[in-house]
Amino acid sequence: MHWTTLIALALALPSSAVVRFHCSQLVTQRLDPLVTPGLNPSPHVHQIVGGNSFNTTMDLNKDMPAESTCTSCQFTEDFSNYWTAILYFKAQNGSYKRVPQLGNNQFRNATGGLTVYYMQDAIYDQQQKSKVTAFKPGFRMFIGDLFARTLADASRFRQLTYTCLDTFVTRSPERIDFPQRKCAEGIMTSLRFPTCWDGKNLDSPDHMAHMSYPETGTFESSGPCPATHPVRTAQVMFEVVWDTKPFNGLEWPKDGSQPFVWSFGDATGYANHADYVFGWKGDALQRILDSPCNFNTPNCTEAKAPKQSIEMMNKCTQKPVVEEDIDSWLPALPGGYQAQYGPIPA
């Protein structure tokens, strides 16, 4: 089924929520308050979107809605922060150039950033009838493995994928390593988080153990949550569109390999990962999940969830606190990384 057909069906349905919205870029810098809280700079570069109270620590007790004065997300009550690593192009002379992001389909005028989904059931499920619980203040999670360099390493994570955009609305096929050819309209990464919560912990030492995949089956097949993680949450998914078009005319590796590398050195693509810190105001997210707020329904009026224009989203930015060049042609990735094409030595 084509993507445009899915959206049309969702808009016509009097069912509960599958929410899709965009967040423009807030800031790009070497900070990661989830994995390395308090460390300035963090090991590698990230692109961050959401509320402008983002900082180096993001304490569990931080009141993100109260401390933020704006959000780069469409929903004006969403002061969460969402972030991923940054993509670079490696030239034949060994230098690196940052790959910019684009606004996604239906959000072309956004300043980069990423598109966020909150889903009750699989995106193609027209009913969206499962009851899901919104996250609590202080909640955060991580998905992926920075050290994954093989298919076996990446296989324990479900649906961290890449799509080679032959057109701007191409959404298949998906793969779990970098595309091995030039993509006419860029590369899209999709990152889907687990959907079963232990119901107690807002975080865990690895930022993953308090969440789980279904005990059997998958989120898409409505697999049951395990007894250890009995609370079914919405599935959070990010889509990021990387503008690789300007690099298609440059010289690529003569051995036929692809030239893109994550900001922490992974040139395989298997280490795709993402971070999420919940920051919705009050019960705004639960209201949306309990209402027929499908895709881009204007204002999601039944949930009383106001949106802002893309122009206003683009205005919410934050000055980097890490002062370094991340955009020129660089001899090494920020933080000193070089491209890695295989398993990292022990």
Query: Which DSSP string do the residues of 32-71 spell out, in sequence order?
Result: -TTTSTT-SS-SS-EEEEEBTT--S---TT--HHHH-S-B
* Cβ–Cβ under 8 Å, residues 164 and 185: no
> Which of 15-19, 208-212, 322-326 is predicted least confidently?
15-19
pLDDT at 56 over 50: yes
Mean per-residue pLDDT, 126-147: 87
Predicted local distance difference test score (pLDDT) of residue 7: 36
15, 292 Cβ separation under 8 angstroms: yes
Reported confidence tier of residue 255, pLDDT bands at 50, 70, 90 = confident
Strand ranges of the sheet holding 260-262, from the earlier edge strand across to the other edge: 96-98, 87-90, 260-262
Phi, psi of 48 (to 5 degrees): -120, 140
| pLDDT for 58 | 96
**pTM score, two decimals?**
0.91
Say if CB 68 and CB 79 are below 8 A apart: yes
What distance in Å separates the CA atoms of residue 104 and residue 169, rounded to the nearest whole number?
9
Cα-to-chain-centroid distance, residue 175: 16
Which residue in the block uniquely carries the two structure tokens 């093989």?
A: 150
pLDDT of residue 91: 96
Mean pLDDT of 304-319: 94
Alpha helices in the chain (DSSP H): 3-12, 64-67, 151-154, 284-289, 310-315
Mean pLDDT score of the chain, rounded to an integer?
89
| Residue in the block written with tokens 């966020």 | 116
Mean pLDDT within 222-232: 92
pLDDT digits (tens, 9 = 90+) for 144-178: 999 999 999 998 888 899 999 999 888 889 999 99
